[in-house]
A and B are shown apart, each in its own frame.
Chain A
Amino acid sequence: MGEAMVKAFRWWWGILLAFLLVALSRFVLPLAFINEVIIFSIYTIGCSFLLGRVGFISFGQPAYLAVGAYGTAFYLSYFGTNPYVGLLLGVLSGLAVSGLVGPLFVRLRSDYFALVNLALAVIIYYLMQKVLADITRGDNGLWFLTNIVATPVLDISSPNQFFIFALLVAMAVWAFYKYLDDSIFGACCLATKVNEDKLMFLGYSNYSVRLTAFIIANTTTALAGAMYAVYLGFVSPEITSPARAADPVVVTILGGTGTLYGPLVGAIAYTGMKDVISKLIGNWELFIGFLLVFIMLAGERGIWGTLQPRLQALFSRNSAPAAMDDRATKRP
């Protein structure tokens, strides 16, 4: 029993520590900022998994974010008032759309995959802005904040309680991706990225591995979209704007591609820079651009990819369990 608990703690401690720090930051940082960071990190983790594990770069993540957000928004605007049901419908919408387009998209090479996803984001943007304007109210967007009713136990219509809910969801998402990283499926994803022929020698279908990874990643993105919708009580086509298509890729690279905690660190850095630097200079994206160039030239490892080996060395010197294990940063 004791051994099982130690084992469980070793597995969980990295996630617990990471989100404990996020929770503690609530006392020094604005709630809106922390909620945005948590949702943004969930938005990014799917992109990071696709890029770091499967080798697929996607510039169409806003499409799946919008599908999740609008799935929730339609329900809360026209059909019901329970935010949990709205969240569930948002996630199911993401699952359905990625299951629908995935069989076509994952057959493509990585560069075409990036572009076809971007095309999907553009299609959804114009669908929501113009074609379905009668339902989506076009650029004005859907407002449903007042429709959301208070829920028992954890009332996510309140920003404070939404923060606790978002924290719990994020921990569950991280645990799920850590489990994936440790699983045979995670190894298959890495193997399909490195050498697809060799994976087939072993009897695996690259197509099935990629499709499963695609659906998992984009359903997670839809979850982030649904959370945005419930948190803001508002959704507009701007959520899938092609101008924001590179955001999750930027955050992924900034945090450290393929690392478990990279999306969280990247989301904190990106949102922080956006909030701080945008107050000082108008064109804050220019700064992000220069930063990315610097990161690429410095070795492509991102913030967490650079910090993690140093922290690991520090912890191992102090004989602490080295459980914050990111396979991608330990590559030969």
Chain B
Amino acid sequence: MPPHSPVPPHNEDLLTVRGLTVSYGESRVLFDIDLSISPRQIVACVGRNGAGKTTLLKTIAGFLKPLSGSVTCDHASLVGRMSYDIARMGIKYVPQDKKVFSDLTVRENLELGSYATKDYNWDRVTDYFPKLKQLMDRKAGYLSGGERQMLMIGRALLGSPKLLLIDEPTEGLAPSIVTHLKTVFGDLRKNTALVIVEQNLPLVCAISSKVYALKEGRVVAALADRESISVDACERYL
């Protein structure tokens, strides 16, 4: 359990991580991580560079195998599953690097998402990101950083995932796009739980209902109610 504000186990938790320890070769990067996410909840992970936030998301998404611990979603263990299996279970990872398939058009990028999920209804995607409608025939390699982020989140929304793992979504984006993403994330919560790794603390505090602070691979605080979530409180643990 986190040392400061422990979150009790929740019967209705969508995702539960218990005692997760992860290493890159000999070097351990996550130590005994516990966290839980309820359906339709936005959970943020904050921490300095190297705190282990991305490693945590990659482990949940199946790209890294933990040394020990459990990750369960809807009572099904995710440990040992291939990452594409986890994606098919409705847990989508949106990585930090904003690298789309640059040789493919926006339409083809979305078609890839549709074919995998058999969800060909793009209305939800274009409702959230109307700009994508105008960019359908453009090669994704020619999109701006903000447009790429829209495409990546939009593509991940196909198939109505139950959990989105989003890594540093606002990094390097213009303030207007950050404001737009903030609205989108707030709205997505109606159907989807989100785990967001983010350094933009005002954004985190505005949208999250739970915040985990990570430091040197450990959860040092879990702020589990709206009243305790503030920029000052988050900064205290960084």
Contact = CB atoms under 8 A, between A and B. Distances in A.
Contacts of B108: 187
A83 B108 CA distance: 42
Nearest to B62: A200
A201 B87 contact: yes
Interface size class of A (residues with CB under 8 A): 20 to 34
Interface in B54-74: 61, 63
A205 B101 contact: no
A187 B92 CA distance: 20
Given A202-B155, A203-B87, A184 B82 contact: no
B83 A184 contact: no
B113 A198 contact: no
Interface string B81-121: 01110011000111100011111100010011101110000
Contact of B117 (A199, A203, A330): A203
Given A202-B112, A202-B116, A190 B101 contact: yes
Interface in A263-287: none
Nearest to B104: A187
Contacts of B24: none
Contacts, number: 73
A331 B103 contact: yes
A194 B93 contact: no
Nearest to A206: B84
Nearest to A191: B101
Chief secondary structure at chain A's binding surface? helix
Interface of B: 61, 63, 82-84, 87-88, 92-95, 99-104, 108, 111-113, 115-117, 139, 141-142, 155-156, 159
Lowest 3 A-B CB distances belong to which pairs?
A332-B141, A203-B87, A203-B116
Given A204-B112, A331-B141, A332-B142, 20 more contacts: A184-B111, A184-B112, A187-B101, A190-B101, A190-B103, A190-B104, A191-B112, A194-B102, A200-B63, A200-B84, A201-B92, A201-B94, A201-B95, A202-B87, A202-B112, A202-B116, A204-B84, A204-B116, A331-B139, A332-B102
11 contacts: A187-B101, A188-B112, A195-B99, A200-B83, A200-B84, A202-B116, A203-B117, A206-B84, A327-B103, A331-B102, A331-B141
